[in-house]
Amino acid sequence: MVDTNEITKSTQVGGGASEAHRYVDNLSESVRDHLSRVFGVVGAWNSEQITKFLKEVQNDDDSSPIAFRESLDYDGFLTYMLSPASAVTATPKEEDLSWPLHSYFISSSHNTYLTGDQLTSDSSTDAYKNVLLRGCRCIEIDVWDGEDLEQSSDGENEPSKDQFKALMSKLPKLFSSRTKKKASSHGSIEEERHANIPEADSSSVTTMQTTGTVVEPRVLHGYTLTKPILFRDVCNTVREHAFVVIDLPLIVSLEVHCSPEQQAIMVQIMEEIWQDHLVVTPDEEPTKLPSPSDLRHKILIKVKYVPPTHNLDDEALVVTDDHDDGRLPPSAPVSKPSKITHALSRLGVYTRGVTFTDWTQPEAIMPTHVFSLAETAFETAATAPESVFNHNKQFFTRTYPGGFRINSSNFDPAPHWALGVQLAALNWQNWDVGMMLNEAMFAGTRGYVLKPEGKKQTSILIRTLEELDENVKI
């Protein structure tokens, strides 16, 4: 068996960029002995046996180096099996990248910042570098207020470590021991720092009274013992690695738990760092989505949608998706829903998050909407599979692991893809069956796989956002 610890970052699999052929360069003595006995009985294969082996066993074509040989003996077979020609992964076909974005399955990551389990592991910018170099095209960032904000000083947005120590003591000892291990593939842990940013609207930027240093948002898994990193550092890492191996668009899914002042800083940081990579807001509301080819080297922000007429002081609040399905630990305090500012919401041009109610709600025909559901919520919603399937022919759905998966395990993404889910987000730090299936789906595809006929739609009936504003439920 392959020692997974010996797999380097340059050859890590996951879903999109792993185009290098992978093959074994040595066979165990037991396998060699078995093959020797087989060829000792049957002798060398003739051309007919070679052709049958290539087609029925290897699912290969005439391009194989042994395809036109008259015979193949034991030594020749070993040479073939230890060569790139016997690689288990097939060469992917060239994708048609001219269809609207929702017509593709997209390689996606959940809680991208984590290096291990969901409760005690470290957050790291290296985790973003890792998945981007492996071909991920949809990452997630959970953003919280900077720790020195007065709004957070009362502990409202900070977990009680005593609570979570008690929680961890109830977990099985096996899991507790596993969580102490650090994922070496993600490198060193980033140290948190405060950075100055150019002065913007003084009314929207919170500063520390004693030093004048801008307090910047952090990235972490809220109400857990996971260590934070700075939002600015994550944005810098994304800028440096988003398009190193793939030039197709990257979707950044934001889970926002910040005050309006900190959201203003988020907007400023993203515009400062990502600059021309950000999608430009069109003059008119989009009536259809652009294609991946149209958006090369672009970053699409997925964030909760706030209608242009929505008042931030209204009772209707924009809340984050991932509080569904019991994601927060039972002992965590209930936080107040975060209001999304218009300035931040406007960055979500083609991927606007909308809270899911049902497949027939008014927002379900907004061309730019994205429904996000935890796996158990999706299973419930999928009791009407025809509605799910028809929705996903022309609109985005994102699914993610349930809150009970504290060890960062993954669901089986295949049933989600079967119902047309474009963004089946997985925990990339855990190499399990779910991630193996993700690799099988996306290896060598640059993270985008065109849906087959029947799972995508060629013509779409669309209602403009202005017509929907009166009925939009946030």
CA-to-CA distance for 190 and 457, rounded, in angstroms? 44
Helices 231-241 & 125-133, crossing angle to 10 degrees? 20
The answer to whether the beta carbons of residues 104 and 448 sit under 8 Å apart is yes
Structure tokens at 29: 């003595």
- Percentage of the residues of the chain whose pLDDT score is greater than 70: 70
- Percentage of the residues of the chain whose pLDDT score is greater than 90: 54
Task: Kindly calculate the radius of gyration of the chain based on its CA atoms and give it in whole angstroms.
Answer: 25
For residue range 299-345, list pLDDT tens digits in order: 999 999 998 875 554 433 444 445 444 444 444 555 555 589 999 99
Q: What is the predicted pLDDT for the residue at 305?
A: 95
Structure tokens at 369: 């909407």
For residue range 395-422, list pLDDT tens digits in order: 999 999 999 999 999 999 999 999 999 9
Contacts (Cβ under 8 Å, ≥6 apart) of 365 = 395, 461, 462, 463, 468
Q: What is the mean pLDDT of residues 124-147?
A: 96
Q: What is the mean pLDDT of residues 121-136?
A: 95
Q: How confident is the model at residue 179 (pLDDT cuts 50, 70, 90)?
A: very low
Q: What is the predicted pLDDT for the residue at 148?
A: 61
Q: How confident is the model at residue 157 (pLDDT cuts 50, 70, 90)?
A: very low
Q: Residue 187: pLDDT above 50?
A: no
- The answer to pTM > 0.75 is no
Q: What is the predicted pLDDT for the residue at 283?
A: 87
| Higher per-residue confidence, 156 vs 334 | 334
Q: What is the mean pLDDT of residues 265-291?
A: 95
Q: Residue 152: pLDDT above 60?
A: no
| Higher per-residue confidence, 289 vs 470 | 289
Q: Residue 143: pLDDT above 90?
A: yes
Element (H, E) at 398: strand 396-400
Of 274, 275, 261, the closest CA to residue 201 belongs to: 261
Q: Residue 174: pLDDT above 60?
A: no
Tracing tokens 């502990």 back to the chain, one arrives at: 155
Element (H, E) at 385: helix 385-392
The CATH number of domain 101-471, selected from 3.20.20.190, 3.20.20.100, 3.30.1330.60, 3.40.50.10140:
3.20.20.190
Q: How confident is the model at residue 7 (pLDDT cuts 50, 70, 90)?
A: very low
Q: What is the mean pLDDT of residues 162-176?
A: 48
Q: Residue 170: pLDDT above 50?
A: no
Q: What is the predicted pLDDT for the residue at 4?
A: 36
Q: For the chain, report the end-to-end CA distance as a whole number of angstroms.
A: 50
> In angstroms, what CA-CA distances link 373 with 3, 18, 63, 236, 291?
35, 28, 44, 28, 24
Q: How confident is the model at residue 73 (pLDDT cuts 50, 70, 90)?
A: very high
**Mean model confidence pLDDT for the chain:** 79
For residue range 435-448, list pLDDT tens digits in order: 999 999 998 889 99
Q: Residue 252: pLDDT above 70?
A: yes
Least confident of 94-108, 118-132, 163-177: 163-177
CA-to-CA distance for 264 and 279, rounded, in angstroms? 18
Q: What is the predicted pLDDT for the residue at 204?
A: 44
Q: What is the predicted pLDDT for the residue at 124?
A: 96
Q: What is the predicted pLDDT for the residue at 466?
A: 46
CA-to-CA distance for 112 and 140, rounded, in angstroms? 5
Q: What is the mean pLDDT of residues 265-282?
A: 96
Q: Residue 259: pLDDT above 60?
A: yes
Q: Give the residue extent of every domain in the chain.
A: 23-86, 101-471
Helices 260-274 & 231-241, crossing angle to 10 degrees? 20
Q: How confident is the model at residue 171 (pLDDT cuts 50, 70, 90)?
A: low
For residue range 199-226, list pLDDT tens digits in order: 334 344 544 433 457 899 999 999 898 8
Q: What is the mean pLDDT of residues 455-469?
A: 52
Q: 206: which strand partners? A: none
| Higher per-residue confidence, 25 vs 378 | 378
CA-to-CA distance for 137 and 206, rounded, in angstroms? 33
CA-to-CA distance for 46 and 44, rounded, in angstroms? 7
Largest Cα separation within the chain, whole Å, is 85
Q: What is the predicted pLDDT for the residue at 292?
A: 98
Q: How confident is the model at residue 156 (pLDDT cuts 50, 70, 90)?
A: very low
Q: What is the mean pLDDT of residues 23-37?
A: 82
